[in-house]
């Protein structure tokens, strides 16, 4: 979907942001000192509330009286959270691959849950159809400039938490909304030399394939344990953004994503899903793109598509 909002046009600020300022934690993973931007501590348990909250407030200010979104889980939860805070009814369309307990979590926020299609892209088409009703605003999970502006607030916070620009920022990539926000924030603060590692599962590496071809390509069947990162194609805005600021695509295995979740739970006592674990893998595997770097920030994007039983099973697999 193409949006005609100029990149330099300022967006109105929401009266009260729905996201919170998250800590930047110093820790050590696999013998490497690292700083973790803990987006898993957002009230909606992932970074999604930054952009989603801003866009929901934007749509309400422009007359929307209901919200509809499509999601693999986390964006839907964030829209449901925002809708409850703003007093707007919400419909979340989830694909059949979504778990029953994730559907229940979203329903617990008083949202209407519709299950449609095999993958997110199918659910998205249904959400777009529902949003044709007058007064109903469509909230995409990753592809909208207001979302990116909201996600850029993460870098605004880093600018106040870091004495200098980090040497690298590591980000997990699905559709690309978080990455676009990070790149926008880096540009705003003049952090032109900060390397960006864009991490994708091997079975859903749409950005890497698109950068290799020089055009956005559509994956026929993206598949990974990191279900939140499985989309058929990334945002069209990603390629030009990656030309402005060098981005290194990194592909990781599903097993590595699982074990990264276990490592984070064991090291700092925090539970995240494999889509978030993906961003930790380059550190745990000492990826060549990080060679010689001492000041690395990893965005712990959070996510709820995980249970304690999952972590226990993954831990056993890794022994």
The pLDDT tens digits along the chain (319 residues) read: 443 333 334 444 546 899 999 999 999 888 888 999 999 999 999 999 999 999 999 999 999 999 999 987 899 999 999 999 999 999 999 988 888 888 999 999 999 999 998 877 888 899 999 999 899 999 998 889 999 999 999 999 999 999 999 999 999 999 999 999 999 999 999 999 999 999 999 999 999 999 999 999 999 888 899 988 988 899 999 999 999 998 999 999 999 999 999 999 999 999 999 999 999 999 999 999 999 898 999 999 999 889 899 999 999 987 6
Residue 76 contacts residue 111 (beta carbons within 8 Å): yes
The pTM assigned to this predicted structure is: 0.91
Query: How much is the pLDDT for 121?
Result: 81
Q: How far is CA 11 from CA 8, 14, 57, 71, 236, in A?
A: 9, 9, 12, 24, 21
Dihedral in degrees, nearest 10, Cα atoms 97, 251, 286, 197: -100
Tokens 């930054």 locate to 50
Query: How much is the pLDDT for 10?
Result: 42
Residue 301, classed as helix, strand or coil, is coil
Nearest alpha-carbon partner for 17 in 114, 139, 117, 149: 149
Query: How much is the pLDDT for 15?
Result: 67
Nearest alpha-carbon partner for 257 in 229, 232, 217, 215: 229
* Distance linking the first and last C-alpha atoms of the chain: 45
Distance CA 262, CA 267 (A): 9
Query: How much is the pLDDT for 8?
Result: 39
User: In b/e form, how buried is each residue of 171-200, taking b as 16+ CB within 10 angstroms?
Assistant: bbbbbbbbbbbbbbbbbebebeebbbbbbb
């Amino acid at each position: 979907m193409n949006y005609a909002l100029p990149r330099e046009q300022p967006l109105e600020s929401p009266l009260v942001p729905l996201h919170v300022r998250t800590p930047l934690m110093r820790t050590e993973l696999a013998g490497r000192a690292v700083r973790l931007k803990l987006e898993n501590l957002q009230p909606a348990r992932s970074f999604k509330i930054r952009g989603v909250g801003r866009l929901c407030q934007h749509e309400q200010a422009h007359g929307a009286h209901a919200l509809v979104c499509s999601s693999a889980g986390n964006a839907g939860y964030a829209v449901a959270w925002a809708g409850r805070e703003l007093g707007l009814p919400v419909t979340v369309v989830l694909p059949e691959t979504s778990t029953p307990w994730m559907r229940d979590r979203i329903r617990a926020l008083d949202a209407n849950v519709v299950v449609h299609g095999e993958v997110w892209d199918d659910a998205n088409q249904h959400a777009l159809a529902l949003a044709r009703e007058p007064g109903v605003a469509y909230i995409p999970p990753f592809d909208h400039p207001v979302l990116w502006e909201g996600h850029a607030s993460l870098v605004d916070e880093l600018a106040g938490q870091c004495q200098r620009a980090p040497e690298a920022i590591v980000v997990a990539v699905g559709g690309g909304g978080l990455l676009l926000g990070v790149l926008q924030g880096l540009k705003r603060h003049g952090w032109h030399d900060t390397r960006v590692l864009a991490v994708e599962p091997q079975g859903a590496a749409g950005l890497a394939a698109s950068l290799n071809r020089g055009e956005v390509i559509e994956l026929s069947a993206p598949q990974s344990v990191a279900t939140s990162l499985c989309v058929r194609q990334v945002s069209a805005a990603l390629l030009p953004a990656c030309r402005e600021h060098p981005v290194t695509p990194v592909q990781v295995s599903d097993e590595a994503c699982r074990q990264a979740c276990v490592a984070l739970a064991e090291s700092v006592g925090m539970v995240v899903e494999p889509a978030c674990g993906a961003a930790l893998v380059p550190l745990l595997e000492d990826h060549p793109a990080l060679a010689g770097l001492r000041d690395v920030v990893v965005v712990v994007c959070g996510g709820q598509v995980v249970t304690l039983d999952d972590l226990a099973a993954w831990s056993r697999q890794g022994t």
